[in-house]
Amino acid sequence: MNHDVLPDWAARAALWVRDYHAGLRDRPVRAQIRPGDLLAQLPDTPPETPEGMETIWDDFARLIPDALTHWQHPRFFAYFPANASPASMLAEQLIAGIGAQGMLWQTSPAATELEQAMMVWLRRALALPEDFTGTIHDSATTATFCAVLTMRERALGFRGLTEGLSGAPVMRLYASAQTHSSVDKAARLAGIGQNNLVKIATRDDLSMDPEALRQAIEADKAAGRLPIGVVFCSGGTGVGAFDDIAAGLAVARDHDLYTHVDAAWAGSAMICREFRPLWAGAEGCDSIVFNPHKWLGAQFDCAVQFLRDPVAQINTLGLRPDYLQTLEGEGAPNFNEWTLPLGRRFRALKLWFVLRAYGLDGLRTRLRNHVAWTEELAGVLAQIPGVEVVTDPRLALFSFALTQGDAATEALLTRINADGRIYLTQTRHAGRFVIRFTCGTWDCTRDDVMATAEVIRDLL
Ligand code: PLP
């Protein structure tokens, strides 16, 4: 394989991808194999001598597609989407072909400056204040971890970085009971301890109770513990909970706490004016993460973190050993200092392609359709005898269950995923086993969404 034949193979790959997407509706959404099935078909040692691309390609086409769960399947309604638009795919192809690494401005000025520009574009698309800047990470988990490390160090006067945490007071981090496990992970790994992540009770609308937040902070202070920050949930993974950020922010400000918003999924929807009340107050927070790789068409991986003032995060994460000193590019950001890994992919290119190829209006239409179809489906399911919509649609997510109880609901979910026409997952809500429905893949249509009702009627 060399550069001369790469274009032929790239063309073949592009055609394969086109046909793969065109044929997705004929495939079961979730891989219908058992653990170990693929592994058993793979040699357990690498080849000593080169193999021909034809052989490699044939093995790919023979072994891989049936062992995939098809995330771009139009009837993938599980988890949150990781939607991939064709423009993003093309950009990813270029990113791979260029193979640049944007750890410093100097190592890839285009990657750095396009990232700066995309942060401005997205800030404006989401109508956030002009003083926000930010960066692109691989995942929301990384962004939230960076935010929690920043909270910790800001609260410790940046001494934890050099002195360690053994002499530090017990630190406390606050988030709603609906928060994503990435916040638990951040508390664990940042040395705060999962037991010091205080999960604040939610109100009937599943938003964090600001009064309970205030009381928890005051009790911790009185007990000599050190509150470090609050993470707000804006579109929770389970059933789409939204905190009242403005109310929680007022409490956080009273105690000078750093604030981070986890809008990994719902953030994309904020390009639509009508959804912005859901995260009112986010504009006043210190840090916000959202994943264009979930719902905006810039495929995995692409997590955007907005920062009101990046200095605290740079002071927490940035290091400049001799070999990373640069003689040129002074004044430009070295984005590795804003995040965890040193090496950085050229992710801004796919945002640039996506935002231009579809325009904000095109993207808004897609998101609005997903929300409208989800609401329509919830209405239809609610009419099916024995089916109960447990949590109403929040954007493009709702949950439902069978009135017969958990065992019956679980059995229905197993039948649905074995059937293969659609793919759904579960969560627990208010002690009940519920099935989540969410849509958002790029090629999903109203018919795909409504097929869910048909499948459920068939399998009841
Ligand atoms: N936060 C929320 C609300 C999520 O739904 C998810 C993933 O689904 C995450 C964080 C973690 O996202 P990532 O996979 O980018 O780490």
Sign of the four-CA dihedral 385, 386, 392, 395: negative
Query: DSSP of 347-367, one letter per residue?
Result: THHHHHHHHHHHHHHHHHHHH
Average pLDDT over residues 272-299: 98
Atom of ligand 1 at shortest range from CA of 300: 15
Domain membership of residue 63 (yes or no) is: no
Domain membership of residue 6 (yes or no) is: no
Nearest CA-CA partner of 236 in 262, 211, 270, 197 = 262
Q: Residue 230 belongs to a domain with what CATH number? A: 3.40.640.10
Q: Ligand 1 pocket, 140 CB below 6 A?
A: yes
Please tell me whether residues 312 and 426 are part of one structural domain: no
Q: Ligand 1 pocket, 263 CB below 6 A?
A: no
- Kindly tell me if the per-residue pLDDT of 329 is higher than 70: no
Domain membership of residue 54 (yes or no) is: no
Please tell me whether residues 304 and 442 are part of one structural domain: no
Q: Residue 379 belongs to a domain with what CATH number? A: 3.90.1150.10
Please tell me whether residues 120 and 253 are part of one structural domain: yes
Neighbours of 334 (CB within 10 A): 21
Please tell me whether residues 272 and 133 are part of one structural domain: yes
Structure tokens at 307: 């920062």
Please provide the distance, in angstroms rounded to a whole number, between the alpha carbons at the two ends of the chain.
52
Which single residue is written with the structure tokens 């069978």?
Answer: 402
Helices vs strands, H then E, count in the chain: 14, 11
Domain membership of residue 193 (yes or no) is: yes
Give the pLDDT confidence score for residue 24 in this predicted structure.
97
Tell me the per-residue pLDDT of 198-229, one tens digit each, with 9 for 90 and over. 999 999 999 999 999 999 999 999 999 999 99
**Which 8-state DSSP code applies to residue 190?**
T
Domain membership of residue 324 (yes or no) is: yes
Please tell me whether residues 341 and 440 are part of one structural domain: no
Which single residue is written with the structure tokens 């993470």?
Answer: 231
Show which of 345, 374, 405 is a domain's final residue.
345
Give the pLDDT confidence score for residue 426 in this predicted structure.
97
Domain membership of residue 32 (yes or no) is: no
- Which residue minimizes the CA distance to atom 5 of ligand 1? 237
Give the pLDDT confidence score for residue 310 in this predicted structure.
97
H or E element, residue 428? strand 425-429
Query: Contact at 8 Å (CB) between 193 and 139?
Result: no
* Chain Cα centroid distance, residue 79: 10
Give the pLDDT confidence score for residue 326 in this predicted structure.
80
* Rounded CA separation 33/141 (Å): 29
* Rounded CA separation 228/173 (Å): 6
Please tell me whether residues 316 and 412 are part of one structural domain: no
Domain membership of residue 17 (yes or no) is: no
**What pTM, to 2 d.p., does this model score?**
0.96
Show which of 303, 318, 345 is a domain's final residue.
345
Please tell me whether residues 200 and 289 are part of one structural domain: yes
Tell me the per-residue pLDDT of 109-168, one tens digit each, with 9 for 90 and over. 999 999 999 999 999 999 999 999 999 999 999 999 999 999 999 999 999 999 999 999
Atom of ligand 1 at shortest range from CA of 234: 3
Please tell me whether residues 319 and 420 are part of one structural domain: no
- Kindly tell me if the per-residue pLDDT of 418 is higher than 90: yes
Please tell me whether residues 307 and 386 are part of one structural domain: no
Distance 195 CA to ligand 1 centre (A): 21
Average pLDDT over residues 311-318: 97
Give the pLDDT confidence score for residue 340 in this predicted structure.
96
Nearest CA-CA partner of 427 in 416, 415, 413, 439 = 413
Pocket probe for ligand 1: among 233, 261, 265, the residue whose CB has the most ligand atoms within 8 Å is: 265
Where in the sequence is the domain holding 141, given as residue range(s)?
Answer: 100-345
Q: What is the dihedral of CA 214, 220, 224, 225, to 10 degrees?
A: -110
Q: Ligand 1 pocket, 206 CB below 6 A?
A: no
Give the pLDDT confidence score for residue 408 in this predicted structure.
98
CA 144, 149, 153: angle at the middle one, nearest 5? 150
- Which residue minimizes the CA distance to atom 2 of ligand 1? 264
Q: Which of 155-164, 232-241, 319-328, 442-451 has the lowest mean pLDDT?
A: 319-328
Q: Ligand 1 pocket, 182 CB below 6 A?
A: yes
Name, in order, each residue with C-beta under 8 angstroms of 59's C-beta and a sequence gap of 6 or more. Answer: none
* Rounded CA separation 409/306 (Å): 40
Pocket probe for ligand 1: among 138, 180, 279, the residue whose CB has the most ligand atoms within 8 Å is: 180
Q: Ligand 1 pocket, 265 CB below 6 A?
A: yes
Please tell me whether residues 235 and 341 are part of one structural domain: yes
Tell me the per-residue pLDDT of 4-23, one tens digit each, with 9 for 90 and over. 999 999 999 999 999 999 99
Reply yes or no: is the peptide bond before residue 131 cis, omega within 30 of 0.
no
Neighbours of 315 (CB within 10 A): 14
Pairing of strands 387-394, 287-290: unpaired
Distance 181 CA to ligand 1 centre (A): 8
What single-letter amino acid sits at 214?
Answer: R
Tell me the per-residue pLDDT of 390-401, one tens digit each, with 9 for 90 and over. 999 999 999 999
Structure tokens at 52: 């021909």
Neighbours of 65 (CB within 10 A): 14
User: Based on the structure, what is the number of domains in the chain?
Assistant: 2
Average pLDDT over residues 183-201: 97
Give the pLDDT confidence score for residue 322 in this predicted structure.
87
- Kindly tell me if the per-residue pLDDT of 377 is higher than 90: yes
Show which of 345, 378, 402 is a domain's final residue.
345
Query: Contact at 8 Å (CB) between 92 and 40?
Result: no
Please tell me whether residues 337 and 367 are part of one structural domain: no
Distance 73 CA to ligand 1 centre (A): 20
Confidence of residue 327 (pLDDT cuts 50, 70, 90): confident
Distance 141 CA to ligand 1 centre (A): 6
Give the pLDDT confidence score for residue 49 in this predicted structure.
98
Pocket probe for ligand 1: among 79, 141, 179, 302, the residue whose CB has the most ligand atoms within 8 Å is: 141
Distance 384 CA to ligand 1 centre (A): 32
Give the pLDDT confidence score for residue 141 in this predicted structure.
98
Confidence of residue 257 (pLDDT cuts 50, 70, 90): very high
Domain membership of residue 66 (yes or no) is: no
Please tell me whether residues 340 and 368 are part of one structural domain: no
Tell me the per-residue pLDDT of 225-254, one tens digit each, with 9 for 90 and over. 999 999 999 999 999 999 999 999 999 999
Confidence of residue 323 (pLDDT cuts 50, 70, 90): confident
Distance 34 CA to ligand 1 centre (A): 26
Q: pLDDT > 90: what percent of the chain?
A: 97
